[in-house]
Structure 1
Amino acid sequence: MSKYPESMPHGEISEVLPDVFFVAGTMRNEFFGSMWQFSRNMTIVRENGNLTILNSVRLNDEGLAALDSLGKVVNVVRLGDMHGMDDPFYVDRYNATFWALPGMKTQEGLKVNKELIEGGEMPFDGCTLFEFKTVKRPECILRLDRDGGILIACDSLQNWVEPDEFFEDETIAKMQGMDFFKTANLGPAWMHESQPLASDFLRLKDVAFEHALCGHGYPLINNAQTQFHKTFNDIFNI
C-alpha cells in the first residue's frame, strides 16, 4: 500500500458516545505558500457490527488493529470537499462502499459508489443528510438519530478550543491570528473557500441536535446546538 499517503501521528480511538468512535490525527500540507501542521479527526459509526468511516484519517498498524477489533469496515463517507486524502486507503483496504456528494472532487481512480442525496439512501439507519446549498465547494453534515441527535461535520462546524499535540508551533501562531481557536466555530478556511450564505444556517437551525463531532477540534458533547446557534447569530445575525 505504498501508493497511499503515509500514516501520520494520531491518538487512540475512543468511544465518545455509544457505538460512535473518534480519533484525532495529523494533517501536514502547504497552505497559502507555507507548510502547516494541525490536527484533524475521524469519526467511526458502528451499526450491527458494521463500521462507517467519516472524515478518514489513516491509522498506523496498531490503530488499524484497534479499528478492526470494533467491527467490519463497510463504508467510507466523504463529507467535505477539502478532505479525503486517506479515502482511497480505506476503500481499497476494506473493499468498502464509497459515499460522496454529487460534484465532489475525489482522488484519481477513486469511484463514488453511492451519492449522498437529501432524502436518499444513507450509509446506516437512523441517519439524515444536511447539504449546504449556497457553497462554492460541496459540503454536508450527517445527523444521527441517537442520544438526542449527533451531528457529524467536516470543515463547516469546528470545535478547536485550543491547539493539541498534533500542531506545530509555527502553525499555532498563524491560526491564532485567524481566529481558528473558538468553541463551536465555523471553519475560517472553509468560510473563505466556500463562502456560505446565511440561508444555509437558517436551515441548519431547524436541525435538532445535542452533540457535534467535527473534522477539526474536540468532540462537543452536550448542549452543542445552543453553542453553535450562538455562533450562527454572531456571524450571520440570525
Structure 2
Amino acid sequence: MTNYLESMPHGDIQEVFKDVFFVTGTMKNEFFGSMWQFSRNMTVVKEGNNLTIINSVRLNDESLKELEKLGKIVNVVRIGDMHGVDDPFYVHKYGATFWALPDMKVQDSIKIDKALVEGGEMPFSDCSLFVFKTVKRPECILRLDREGGIMIACDSLQNWIEPDQFFDEETIPTMQNMNFFKPANLGLAWLHESQPQADDFVRLKEIPFKHALCGHGYPLKDNAQEEYHKTFNEIFKV
C-alpha cells in the first residue's frame, strides 16, 4: 500500500491560457536545517480530451472532481528533481503514463514509463524540451508552442513576487532575507543544489517565448523572455 502525501491547502484551478490550467498549493520541506512552508504550482495542459499534469500538486476531493470534468488524466510529467512527491498519487489513481528525465530518481512505487529526451516523443503535441546539461540534479523545461511560446518550468525559472496565503509566518522573513521574492528570478535553492553553469543559459536564450508558468510564483505573461534574459545576464553575464 502506497502512502501518499495528504492534500494540503490549495487554490482553485485557473485557466490561464486556453486549455492551460494552473493551481497554487502548499509544500512543507526541510531546507538548511529548518522546516519551511511555501507555495508551489501545478500546470495542466489539455489536448483534445486528454490532460497532462506537470509539477503535480495533490488536490482535495472536490477539486479533483473539477479536474476530472476538464478531461481524462493520461500523463504525469516530472521536470524537476526537487519536486514529485505527489506524482505517485496521480499515476496510480488515474493509471497515467509517467514521464521524467531518464536519470531522475523517482519513488519506488512508480517507474518512468517514457523518458523525456530532446527531440524525442513528448506527452502532447506542440511541445518541445529544453534540458539543463551542466546541473548536478536533473531539470528541464517544456516549451508549449501556443500563445507565442509558454515555458513550463519547475525550479529553474521562478516568479515569486511576494509571499501568498500558502506560506507560514516563520518562513516568510527567512525567504525575504534570502531575496527569494524577486520577479523573473532563478530558483535560489535550485541554484544552490544544482549549480548550473552559464552554458545552459546561453542555450536557453536561443529559445523564443512570451510567457512562463513556473513551479513557484505567479504566471508571468507577455514579457517573460525579456525579464528572464535580464536575470540570466545579471547572474551569469550572458
Structures share a fold, TM > 0.5?
Answer: yes
**Matched residues, percent identical?**
72
Match in the other structure for 1:157: 157
Q: What secondary structure sits across from 2:26 in the alignment?
A: strand
Q: How far is the alpha carbon of 1:170 from its aligned partner? A: 1.0
Deviations for 1:79-117, whole angstroms, at most 9, x for unmatched residues?
000000000000001000000001101011211000000
- Tell me, yes or no, if structure 1 residue 8 matches structure 2 residue 8: yes
Whole-angstrom distance in 2 between the partners of 1:190 and 1:111:
24
Q: How far is the alpha carbon of 1:201 from its aligned partner? A: 0.3
Q: What secondary structure sits across from 2:16 in the alignment?
A: strand
Match in the other structure for 1:67: 67
User: Which residue identity lines up with residue 179 of structure 2 in the other structure?
Assistant: D
Match in the other structure for 1:137: 137
Match in the other structure for 1:113: 113
Q: What secondary structure sits across from 1:192 in the alignment?
A: helix
* Cα RMSD (Å): 0.9
Whole-angstrom distance in 2 between the partners of 1:51 and 1:206:
29
Q: How far is the alpha carbon of 1:58 from its aligned partner? A: 0.2
Q: How far is the alpha carbon of 1:2 from its aligned partner? A: 7.1
Whole-angstrom distance in 1 between the partners of 2:64 and 2:206:
37
What are the within-5 Å matches in structure 2 for residues 178-197 of structure 1? 178-197=178-197
Deviations for 1:32-69, whole angstroms, at most 9, x for unmatched residues?
22111000000000001100000000000011011001
Deviations for 1:177-211, whole angstroms, at most 9, x for unmatched residues?
11110000000000000000000000000000000
User: Which residue identity lines up with residue 198 of structure 1 in the other structure?
Assistant: A
Whole-angstrom distance in 1 between the partners of 2:3 and 2:166:
24
Whole-angstrom distance in 2 between the partners of 1:178 and 1:77:
30
Match in the other structure for 2:82: 82
Where does structure 1 lack aligned partners over 5 or more consecutive residues? none
Q: What secondary structure sits across from 2:170 in the alignment?
A: helix
User: Which residue identity lines up with residue 38 of structure 1 in the other structure?
Assistant: F
Whole-angstrom distance in 2 between the partners of 1:78 and 1:22:
16
Match in the other structure for 2:207: 207
User: Which residue identity lines up with residue 39 of structure 2 in the other structure?
Assistant: S
User: Which residue identity lines up with residue 71 of structure 2 in the other structure?
Assistant: G
- Tell me, yes or no, if structure 1 residue 171 matches structure 2 residue 166: no
- Tell me, yes or no, if structure 1 residue 224 matches structure 2 residue 235: no
User: Which residue identity lines up with residue 16 of structure 1 in the other structure?
Assistant: V
Whole-angstrom distance in 2 between the partners of 1:21 and 1:108:
29
Contact 2:2 2:109 in 1 (8 A): no
User: Which residue identity lines up with residue 203 of structure 2 in the other structure?
Assistant: R
User: Which residue identity lines up with residue 169 of structure 1 in the other structure?
Assistant: E
**Alignment size in residue pairs:** 238
Whole-angstrom distance in 1 between the partners of 2:33 and 2:91:
31
Whole-angstrom distance in 2 between the partners of 1:96 and 1:189:
29
User: Which residue identity lines up with residue 75 of structure 2 in the other structure?
Assistant: N
Whole-angstrom distance in 2 between the partners of 1:102 and 1:11:
32
Match in the other structure for 2:57: 57
TM-score (norm 2): 0.99
Whole-angstrom distance in 1 between the partners of 2:121 and 2:234:
34
Match in the other structure for 2:33: 33
Whole-angstrom distance in 2 between the partners of 1:37 and 1:59:
17
Deviations for 1:140-191, whole angstroms, at most 9, x for unmatched residues?
0000010000000000000000000000111011111111100000000000
TM-score (norm 1): 0.99
Whole-angstrom distance in 1 between the partners of 2:49 and 2:165:
31
Structure 1 residue runs of 4 or more that deviate by more than 4 Å after TM superposition:
none
Q: How far is the alpha carbon of 1:8 from its aligned partner? A: 0.1
Whole-angstrom distance in 2 between the partners of 1:90 and 1:234:
38
Match in the other structure for 2:45: 45
User: Which residue identity lines up with residue 161 of structure 2 in the other structure?
Assistant: V
